[in-house]
Amino acid sequence: MKPRVAILISGRGSNMAALIEAAAEDGYPADIALVISNVASAGGLAIAQRSGVETLVIESKPFGKDRAGFEAVLQAALDQHRIDLICLGGFMRLFTAEFVQHWHGRMLNIHPSLLPSFPGLDPHGQALRAGVKISGATVHFVIPETDAGPIVMQGAVAVHDDDTPDTLAARVLAVEHRIYPQALKLLAAGETKLAEGLCKSPAIPSSDQILIVPPAGA
């Protein structure tokens, strides 16, 4: 049986769409069984419905600071749909340590920076202000700290001198859409190994690719 995945969103859901598209391919080792949004107006809901994926809205706003109350309703929905794995896709709500612990090793997040650099809000602005020449995206297991946890996969892009947060975000988003389905595939196929706070994929051949920015010796 393929693991059943719930994708949690709060907004446009482009990473969700990339996961749904990948999982529709023959041989993909996970089923996207459910999309849950904590925001009723999230654009991603309509995309999921068009793809034939069941959707659920569990508004978090009425719960205010009662994170455990929200999570009790969320957990009941996940149980009811026999969910094995969670993918956060732009889900803008923090979890309690208890919820995170319950899903330890079974919940992924994507963040648009090369973590541990630039967690939190405005990662592209942070990257541009720091003057880094390479940025990217990270898929990681969720731990109680925000935008941290064992890294499953990263993808990198060159930062351009004339980049704005928006132009950089667009190039990084294309990377996100490639690495999230690949990272979920590794997890669902049992090809990730978690030990001592790190994630390794021993069965995957390593890469010697180099990205140099600005290009050297052109």
List the catalytic residues.
Answer: 111
Give which of 138, 157, 170 is closest to 213, Cα–Cα.
Answer: 157
Orientation angle between helical segments 165-188 and 123-130, nearest 10 degrees: 120
Which parts of 142-161 interact with ligand GAR (CB under 6 A)?
A: 147
The count of residues in the chain is: 218
The one segment of 12-20, 127-135, 183-191, 192-200 that binds ligand GAR by CB under 6 A: 12-20
Give which of 6, 57, 8, 54 is closest to 30, Cα–Cα.
Answer: 6
The verdict on 11 binding ligand GAR (CB under 6 A) reads yes
- Name the residue nearer to ligand GAR (CB basis): 135 or 192: 135
Give which of 44, 40, 38 is closest to 14, Cα–Cα.
Answer: 44
What's the closest the beta carbon of residue 138 comes to ligand GAR, in angstroms? 9
- Name the residue nearer to ligand GAR (CB basis): 15 or 135: 15
Q: Based on C-alpha coordinates, what's the Rg of the chain?
A: 17
Work out the widest C-alpha separation in the chain, in whole angstroms. Answer: 58
Q: Which of 3, 89, 136, 181 binds ligand GAR (CB under 6 A)?
A: 89
The one segment of 13-21, 75-83, 128-136, 160-168 that binds ligand GAR by CB under 6 A: 13-21
| Cβ atoms of 133 and 112 closer than 8 Å | no
* Number of residues binding to ligand GAR, judged by CB under 6 A: 15
The verdict on 138 binding ligand GAR (CB under 6 A) reads no
The closest residue (CB) to ligand GAR is: 90
Taking the C-alpha atoms of residue 213 and residue 61, their distance in angstroms, rounded to an integer, is 43
| Cβ atoms of 154 and 114 closer than 8 Å | yes
The one segment of 8-16, 100-108, 154-162, 191-199 that binds ligand GAR by CB under 6 A: 8-16
Residues that bind ligand GAR (CB under 6 A): 9, 11-15, 44, 89-90, 110-112, 147, 173, 176
